[in-house]
Chain A
Amino acid sequence: MKIEIEIDGKSFEVEPGKMIIEVADAAGIVIPRFCYHKKLSVAANCRMCLVDVEKSRKPLPACATPVTPGMVVRTRSKLALDAQKAVMEFLLINHPLDCPICDQGGQCELQDIALGYGSDNSRYDQGKRSVKDKNLGPLIETEMTRCIHCTRCVRFGREIAGISEMGSIGRGEDTEIGTYVEKSLTSELSANIIDLCPVGALTNKPFRYRARAWELTQHSGVSPHDCVGSNLHIHTRRNAVMRVVPKENEGINETWISDRDRFSCEGLSSPERVTSPQLKRHGQWETVDWQTALQTVVEALQDVTEHHSADRIGGIISPNATVEELFLFQKLLRGMGCHNIDHRITQTDFHYQQAMPTYPKLPVSIADIEQQELIVVIGGNTQHEQPLIHHRIRKAWDNGAKVIMINPVDFEFNFTPTQTLLVENRRLPEALTGVTRCLAESQQDTEIAKDLLQSVAVTPAHREVADALLSAKAPLILLGAGAQNHPQAGLMYALAERMAQLSNGNVGLLTAGANAAGAWLVGAVPHRGPTGLNVSKPALDVQRMWESELPAYVLFNVEPEHDCANSAKALKALSQAALVICLTSYKTPAMEQYADIILPIASFAETPGTFINVEGRWQSFQAAVIPKGESRPGWKVLRVLGNLLSLDGFNYVVNTEVTDELRSLATTNTPEQPAGPWRYPSHLPTVSEGVERFCYWPIYRSDSVVRHSQPLQKTPLSETPVVTMSPQLAQRLGLEAGTEVKVSQGGDAVVLQVCISHRMVGDTVGIAAGFLETAGLAESFGTVKIERI
């Protein structure tokens, strides 16, 4: 039942329950506002949106007045304008009007609205109040005297970030927005309050005083840090990325981006960028021109093919590479006769690879996650891995959905999951088997994987998860990084699929990097070519490539010491190789040791390209700036290499020709059906004894751009390399927090400090990857020995 209302002489048919401001916004009728924001609850405290409503004795706030049948609203009548101007005058009483030195100048809601509704002089002649600034950490600058107390930032914390850190402190004239105790904001979404702030009270700290809004050029982009594919506006000036802000896309990131998406651009100007091609000659690095470098690469690769064979080359590419780069990378290597191609650098088990679909794709859209009835996350710290997917999961929870976490660590989330099934990392498969057994028995469908299911005793926790799965209509099971990187990833994926079958649910992978879907589709895997066609001769996956200690490796935007699982194995393989070619944006100290040729490639915002996100959405973007120094877009470097190697089909002029080729392959090729059904083992693999490592990538160690962003490295969410264990385990080992210990694995050892956390369980210890300090361990998920030094 719709009702009819009139705004400024125009009639609208609207849903009852809507507020006047929503109807006006949809119709393009401008009502000034400060506190109202479509994604936040209604506060109605700024009073700027007062409008004239017929039959009302006084003006009403459009943000908090629901429509009623026959309502007549005037937004520009004398009554409305007088009210709005009066509010404006009050708001400006304490505002410093320091626009010339304010970063918000030129992009300020207060400034814009004051232009329309403010007076050109003030009747207020007394002292203005001033407010002490707050220190909110390395990302957000404050100038609290400018604050007009709209409370958008306060509501954002409560409603979106799920962590209340800002509040209205004091009352009346003494009210201040702040944290009361000095603290840096800890939310991974915190910097969205910069965009929400309608004045210059909260501004972008790294960007402070660097540019004026009107000097900037806006480019569209896509975030390269997770599989969400958040839409960005990249603001540039004189060929430098000055800042990144969200580009609204209701289906993906709504109006938000994570702090990682926003501040990673600070890493683009790092002094560790490589800006020219370099060759190692007699152990010394020399800067050379592109022609020499490319010629050397070609000769070196031809040398490997002649003296060994093409399949003795290992090609490893980042899952953050663009579709174009991934496609050309595999085309180049396959053109030479090498199928050793992989992007699954954080993974350790590939048993499932034949059963994978052409490319992983969530069974529901990102937006639909918030409509789910039950979400089961297996092995995922979603809040840090995919912040904006986690935001949707939290919204689902807020809507009444059940959220169950099956994890090896009791990760801290911004809501309390309905149930958390905590088990040691090595016992995750056992937990899933237990749940599957409950489901199978309830559904009287126990034939599949019978022996495996029988081998596990069911616990009440298993039953609780199973009951939740059975009572939900279509549960969504999500596998996070902890499940995909697990040494039993294949078995866990199979069990998740079986759980879904038995409960009429669906399974989705929250894949690593920005473009794992693209990588699968183009065939950046050793067993399949573009569009999922099987290759004649299955080749080595990334772990086999390290173990085989090949004579030559080609690394594309990969720093194995930071980015790869089983990093010590990788480093060992690289150090024995005769040839290591790195196409990279950054040069690391380890790379100087293992690399022989470095080709500088464009980083984020410097290259055109395409990402396919976790829901299978293709998103193409243009370069916002030209690459730093002599770097060149990766796809162009690969194209030239293809030509120099005299390979067919490398005559692309623009990058869209690459995606066009892929698209046409996708329409003509019909990939064979995945090799399922899964083959289940008859029993679980034997579980090792002793302390085991759980390896994860902290939120701000996820890729090289992020690692080079200094502001992100200074936030409270930034981690240091430590070994985290439960108080019980620490006690058993006789260790205290801060003790330096030797963590060893076979012949490898690293020295780390002990961190004690009640979030750890059993004999699992957390040792993050992404640090040079932890790169010396060969098994990301193996047993470790911990000794006091």
Chain B
Amino acid sequence: MMTQSKPGLSARAKAEIDEWLKKYPADQRRSAVIPALHIAQDENGGWLTTELMNEVGDYLQIPHVAVYEVATFYSMYELKPVGRHKISVCTNISCMLADSDGIVRCLKDRLGIEFNETTPDGKFTLKEVECLGACVTAPVMLVDKTYHEKLTPEKVDHILSELE
């Protein structure tokens, strides 16, 4: 029953999780699972391994399966390796009315990949997501942690060209 310490959560990540834990009552450590998973994911090149999720569970003293439940529920967690940049396009009602289909077509064309695929050079991963909460500036996509709003195919080209 010994948990082997594997290369996983760094001391810095744990310190960061501790900061979040301060915001919740001491007996409610599970409250920090969402930020903790973000921290773990960021440190691991944008995706979560089962071992990392287990480690988050152990650190928060919650069952492993409770972490899996959260990580599989939210689209912002990745359970397989992703490219350096993750592009999440909204196709919900407001964006759809503002021609998100055109944006999606443009992205697929330029990148040469379908949803949930990564470009062969490992630079981009394309994802379809539900409402990003920016309907007023539809169509919208999220690139890594940056919102890009009122998109046009030209704007998309420009954004893609700016990314390393």
Give the Cβ gap from B131 to chain A, nearest Cβ, in Å: 13
Q: A170-B72, A171-B73, A180-B72 are in contact. Are A759 and B1 (CB under 8 A)?
A: yes
Stretch of A159-167, A209-217, A312-320, A600-608 lying at the B interface: A159-167
User: Is B93's CB within 8 Å of the partner chain A?
Assistant: no
Q: Give every chain A residue within 8 A of B2 (Cβ-Cβ).
A: 758
Instruction: Verify B1–A168 contact, CB threshold 8 A.
Output: no
Instruction: Verify B66–A167 contact, CB threshold 8 A.
Output: yes
Main secondary structure of the interface of B (DSSP, over half): helix
A166 (CB) vs chain B CBs: closest residue: B65
User: Is B24's CB within 8 Å of the partner chain A?
Assistant: no
Q: Give every chain B residue within 8 A of A170 (Cβ-Cβ).
A: 72-73
B57 (CB) vs chain A CBs: closest residue: A164
Q: Give every chain A residue within 8 A of B66 (Cβ-Cβ).
A: 164, 167
- The B-contacting residues of A in range 139-182, CB under 8 angstroms, are 158, 163-171, 179-181
Q: Give every chain B residue within 8 A of A158 (Cβ-Cβ).
A: 63
User: Is B147's CB within 8 Å of the partner chain A?
Assistant: no
Instruction: Verify A167–B65 contact, CB threshold 8 A.
Output: yes
Complex formed: what's the CA distance from A179 to B69 in Å? 9
A180 (CB) vs chain B CBs: closest residue: B68
Q: Give every chain A residue within 8 A of B137 (Cβ-Cβ).
A: none
Q: Give every chain B residue within 8 A of A787 (Cβ-Cβ).
A: none
What 0/1 readout, one digit per residue, does chain B (106-124) give for beta carbons within 8 Å of chain A? Answer: 0000000000000000000
Give the Cβ gap from B73 to chain A, nearest Cβ, in Å: 5
Q: Give every chain B residue within 8 A of A758 (Cβ-Cβ).
A: 1-2
Instruction: Verify A179–B1 contact, CB threshold 8 A.
Output: no
Instruction: Verify B68–A169 contact, CB threshold 8 A.
Output: yes
A164 (CB) vs chain B CBs: closest residue: B63
What 0/1 readout, one digit per residue, does chain B (63-92) give for beta carbons within 8 Å of chain A? Answer: 111101100110000000000000000000
Give the Cβ gap from A716 to chain B, nearest Cβ, in Å: 12
User: Is B28's CB within 8 Å of the partner chain A?
Assistant: no
Q: A757-B1, A758-B1, A759-B1 are in contact. Are A171 and B63 (CB under 8 A)?
A: no
Q: A163-B63, A164-B63, A181-B50 are in contact. Are A169 and B1 (CB under 8 A)?
A: no
A163 (CB) vs chain B CBs: closest residue: B63
Complex formed: what's the CA distance from A181 to B68 in Å? 9
What 0/1 readout, one digit per residue, does chain B (30-69) give for beta carbons within 8 Å of chain A? Answer: 0000000000000000000010000000000001111011
What 0/1 readout, one digit per residue, does chain A (690-717) give for beta carbons within 8 Å of chain B? Answer: 0000000000000000000000000000
User: Is A303's CB within 8 Å of the partner chain B?
Assistant: no
Complex formed: what's the CA distance from A170 to B73 in Å? 5
B65 (CB) vs chain A CBs: closest residue: A167
Instruction: Verify A167–B68 contact, CB threshold 8 A.
Output: yes
Instruction: Verify A171–B72 contact, CB threshold 8 A.
Output: yes
Instruction: Verify B69–A167 contact, CB threshold 8 A.
Output: yes
Interface centre among A167, A170, A181, A758 (most CB of B within 10 A): A167
Q: Give every chain B residue within 8 A of A165 (Cβ-Cβ).
A: 63, 65
Q: Give every chain B residue within 8 A of A164 (Cβ-Cβ).
A: 63-66
**Total contacts A-B at CB 8 Å:** 36
Main secondary structure of the interface of A (DSSP, over half): loop
Give the Cβ gap from B98 to chain A, nearest Cβ, in Å: 24
Q: Give every chain A residue within 8 A of B63 (Cβ-Cβ).
A: 158, 163-165
Instruction: Verify B69–A169 contact, CB threshold 8 A.
Output: yes
Q: Give every chain A residue within 8 A of B72 (Cβ-Cβ).
A: 169-171, 180
User: Is A412's CB within 8 Å of the partner chain B?
Assistant: yes
Q: Give every chain B residue within 8 A of A167 (Cβ-Cβ).
A: 65-66, 68-69
Complex formed: what's the CA distance from A781 to B4 in Å? 32
What 0/1 readout, one digit per residue, does chain A (752-776) give for beta carbons within 8 Å of chain B? Answer: 0000011100000000000000000
- The A-contacting residues of B in range 1-27, CB under 8 angstroms, are 1-2
B70 (CB) vs chain A CBs: closest residue: A167
Q: Give every chain A residue within 8 A of B69 (Cβ-Cβ).
A: 167-169
From the candidates A163, A171, A181, A412, name the one contacting B1 in the complex (CB within 8 A). Answer: A412
Interface centre among A168, A412, A759 (most CB of B within 10 A): A168
Interface centre among A165, A169, A180, A181 (most CB of B within 10 A): A180
Complex formed: what's the CA distance from A759 to B1 in Å? 9
A756 (CB) vs chain B CBs: closest residue: B2
Q: Give every chain A residue within 8 A of B64 (Cβ-Cβ).
A: 164, 180-181
Q: A757-B1, A758-B1 are in contact. Are A180 and B65 (CB under 8 A)?
A: yes
B50 (CB) vs chain A CBs: closest residue: A181
B79 (CB) vs chain A CBs: closest residue: A180
B73 (CB) vs chain A CBs: closest residue: A171
Complex formed: what's the CA distance from A496 to B144 in Å? 64
Give the Cβ gap from B30 to chain A, nearest Cβ, in Å: 11
Complex formed: what's the CA distance from A171 to B69 in Å? 9
Interface centre among A158, A163, A169, A758 (most CB of B within 10 A): A169
- The B-contacting residues of A in range 72-117, CB under 8 angstroms, are none
Complex formed: what's the CA distance from A170 to B63 in Å? 17
Complex formed: what's the CA distance from A166 to B63 in Å? 10
Give the Cβ gap from B93 to chain A, nearest Cβ, in Å: 16
Give the Cβ gap from A61 to chain B, nearest Cβ, in Å: 22
Give the Cβ gap from B132 to chain A, nearest Cβ, in Å: 16
B2 (CB) vs chain A CBs: closest residue: A758
A174 (CB) vs chain B CBs: closest residue: B72
Give the Cβ gap from B67 to chain A, nearest Cβ, in Å: 9
A410 (CB) vs chain B CBs: closest residue: B1
Complex formed: what's the CA distance from A158 to B62 in Å? 11
Give the Cβ gap from B35 to chain A, nearest Cβ, in Å: 19
Q: Give every chain A residue within 8 A of B1 (Cβ-Cβ).
A: 412, 757-759
Give the Cβ gap from A336 to chain B, nearest Cβ, in Å: 52
A727 (CB) vs chain B CBs: closest residue: B2
Give the Cβ gap from A413 to chain B, nearest Cβ, in Å: 12
Complex formed: what's the CA distance from A412 to B2 in Å? 12
Complex formed: what's the CA distance from A653 to B73 in Å? 66
Interface centre among B1, B64, B65, B66 (most CB of A within 10 A): B65
Q: Give every chain B residue within 8 A of A757 (Cβ-Cβ).
A: 1
Instruction: Verify A179–B65 contact, CB threshold 8 A.
Output: yes
Complex formed: what's the CA distance from A759 to B2 in Å? 10
Complex formed: what's the CA distance from A773 to B129 in Å? 59
Q: Give every chain B residue within 8 A of A168 (Cβ-Cβ).
A: 69, 73
- The B-contacting residues of A in range 639-657, CB under 8 angstroms, are none
Give the Cβ gap from B47 to chain A, nearest Cβ, in Å: 15
Complex formed: what's the CA distance from A169 to B66 in Å? 9
Interface centre among A158, A181, A759 (most CB of B within 10 A): A181
Complex formed: what's the CA distance from A738 to B156 in Å? 59
Of all A-B residue pairs in the complex, the 7 with the closest CB atoms, nearest first, are A164-B63, A167-B65, A180-B68, A167-B69, A171-B73, A169-B72, A170-B72
Besides A180-B64, A180-B65, A180-B68, 17 other A-B contacts (C-beta < 8 A): A163-B63, A164-B65, A165-B63, A166-B65, A167-B65, A167-B66, A168-B69, A168-B73, A169-B68, A169-B72, A170-B72, A171-B72, A171-B73, A179-B65, A180-B50, A181-B50, A758-B2
What are 7 A-B contacts defined by CB distance under 8 Å? A163-B63, A165-B65, A166-B65, A169-B72, A180-B50, A180-B64, A758-B2
Interface residues of A (CB under 8 A from B): 158, 163-171, 179-181, 412, 757-759
